[in-house]
Amino acid sequence: MSKTIKLEISGMTCDHCAVSIARSLENLPGVKAAVSFEEATAMVEAPEDIEAARLAAAVERAGYRAAVIGAGPATPEAPGPRGGDGGSLRVAIIGSGSAAFACAIRAAEEGARVTMIEAGTVGGTCVNVGCVPSKILLRAAHVAHTIAHHPFAGIGRSEPAIDRAAVAAQQAARVAELRRAKYEDIVAANPAIELMRGFARFAGPQTLLVERPDGPPLQLRPDRILIATGAAPFVPDIPGLENTPFWTSTEALEADAAPEHLVILGGSFVAAELAQAFRRLGSDVTMIARSTLLSRLDPELGGGLQEAFAAEGIQVITHTVPERITHDGGVFHITAGAETITADRLLLAAGRRPNTAPLNLAAASVAVDERGAVIVNERLETSAPGLYAAGDCTALPQFVYVAAAAGTQAAINMTGGDARLQLDVVPEVVFTDPQVAVVGIDEQEARERGIEAESRILPLEVVPRALANFETRGFIKLVAERSSGRLLGAQVLAAEGGEIIQSAALAIAAGMTIERLANQLFPYLTMVEGLKLAAQTFTRDVSQLSCCAG
């Protein structure tokens, strides 16, 4: 004998939800279920001995709520945030990068049901085509350079044999390993997070239409939405460029051969890192920068790095924009003024643009700036109620650690909390050799803010660890408020500068003065001790101190 039970379902946002509920119900022995998203009901044919509470529990296991129509709730309400229909809060996330995953994990911890929508490769920029592969490439290039150019007497130097294809294969394997461990496996292990393959765009306020590769389009109406679609390389409007086989950083990182001559358009972080990497892997490299090298930072940093590049044979052409670029089937021709530069590869590294144009944000009344970046407040809220944004698709600093922090803060706010993203102290690192690292503000920014500031520069040639390493190119610069001595900023050009800068960031966040920093205990011999010495230069000549003088 069997019986038919009609259930009222809450929490569904699309036809896919109905399929999930039907599958969960039919895992019970002898049960057949027809679930309707439009009617928010389930018609269940079940054996006589199955109680309605078991059916409701099966719906609950799928992440939804069920009540026998006319009989009241099937099970007591579970704890956690709830949507407008009384079920668990439903969160949809467009994208699967660092901001998206940080938001998904925190929202799930707060009791929400999360649907993450991804049209491409899971993991976003950082693990796939950004931080991880670029640092592998940079480290490989550093090792090759050290073999040929290390500074130590009595140890032989030689030009290394470089198999770029082997380096690229090892890099790809590590990227795949990290993508699986840190992204794909996390989704698979968390029943509150569902990964949906497809391209999402807005069909109206709080409504998404997802074009799926393996089924008809789905319409989602979640309680909260996070836009986390990242950014893509910017292609400048230069005549002829669009008809050439140029590289972006993605193709450069995946290339299995180093070009004989690589021209790079750009003078930013990515341009600088890849320029040095390819030079050290055997390519001739020419950089063409619209302004100066690292123009957004203190000029002494870009100038010092350019000197280091010149010593390695990297040509940097500044204040130049090509007038035309063509490709004859084998060689690029880059025309700039009276000069035409030829190269077998051209890399575009002139910045990135938010991936927002295809999202139909106007349908949801989401405001963007002139670049197409989603405008958010300190709570990561957009101009549309219930819609949030985080990561490189916004106007926030384009660093993975900022994206992850923003995703977490957005999730807290989505689920009833009140978190504010604090960006007062954001350390930045350019992973060249020497590294460029900054935090806080420089002298120009202090003047713009009306702060009377003073600065000191400590050459690395007076830092004991730099002397021991025979790596004295660079400096540490500190900026302080003149009246109070409060540390305002640090600019570093040094080997392992990225390992130095976080101590400066903590000092700024703690409101430390130069005097207090100068009196701190730093381990000897370390590069970070340079911060102490730089602080001491405000009141004394450190070149006249013994190595361990306090």
**Spatial separation of the C-alpha atoms in residues 78 and 522, rounded to whole Å:** 52
| Consecutive H or E run containing 322 | none
Place domain 241-350 in its CATH homologous superfamily: FAD/NAD(P)-binding domain (3.50.50.60)
Angle made by CA atoms 479, 484, 490, in degrees to the nearest 5: 15
What mean pLDDT, rounded, does the chain reach? 93
pLDDT at 483: 97
Correct CATH for 90-124+172-233+353-414 of 3.40.50.10470, 3.50.50.60, 3.30.465.10, 3.40.630.30: 3.50.50.60
Residues 6+ apart with CB under 8 A from 188: none
CATH T-level fold of 428-544: Enolase-like; domain 1 (3.30.390)
Placement of tokens 């009196």 in the chain? 519
Placement of tokens 């013994």 in the chain? 546
The mean pLDDT of 347-371, rounded to a whole number, is: 97
How is the chain split into domains, by residue range? 2-73, 90-124+172-233+353-414, 241-350, 428-544
Task: Specify the pTM.
Answer: 0.84
Catalytic center residues: 12, 14, 17, 64, 126, 131, 547-548
Report how far Cα 537 is from the mean position of its chain's Cα atoms.
36
Q: Is the peptide bond before 525 cis (omega within 30 degrees of 0)?
A: yes
Hey, how many other C-beta atoms are within 10 angstroms of the C-beta on 545?
A: 13
Coil vs helix vs strand at 326: strand
pLDDT at 171: 98
Residues 6+ apart with CB under 8 A from 23: 62
Would you state the structure tokens that stand for residue 386, as one six-digit string?
């219930």
End-to-end Cα separation, the chain, in angstroms: 89
Residue range 2-73 forms a domain whose CATH class is alpha beta
- Domains 2-73 and 90-124+172-233+353-414 agree in fold: no
pLDDT at 70: 40
**Spatial separation of the C-alpha atoms in residues 80 and 87, rounded to whole Å:** 9
The mean pLDDT of 334-338, rounded to a whole number, is: 92
Q: Which amino acid is at 429?
A: V
Residue 64 has pLDDT above 90, yes or no: no
Checking phi first, is residue 466 left (phi over 0); if not, alpha (psi -120 to 50) or beta? alpha
Q: Which amino acid is at 451?
A: I
486-521 tens-digit pLDDT: 999 999 999 999 999 999 999 999 999 999 999 999
| Nearest Cα to Cα of residue 550 among 534, 537, 538, 532 | 532
SS (HEC) of 59-108? HHHCCCEEEECCCEECCCCCCCCECCCCCECEEEEECCCHHHHHHHHHHH
Overall residue count recorded for the chain in this entry: 550
pLDDT at 77: 32
233-260 tens-digit pLDDT: 999 999 999 999 999 999 999 999 999 9
**Spatial separation of the C-alpha atoms in residues 336 and 326, rounded to whole Å:** 12
120-152 tens-digit pLDDT: 999 999 999 999 999 999 999 999 999 999 999
Coil vs helix vs strand at 515: helix
Residue 547 has pLDDT above 70, yes or no: no
Res. 76 pLDDT band, cuts 50 70 90: very low
Res. 39 pLDDT band, cuts 50 70 90: confident
**Spatial separation of the C-alpha atoms in residues 497 and 156, rounded to whole Å:** 27
Contact 295, 302 (CB under 8 A): yes
Would you state the structure tokens that stand for residue 73, as one six-digit string?
């709730």
| Nearest Cα to Cα of residue 278 among 494, 148, 134, 171 | 134
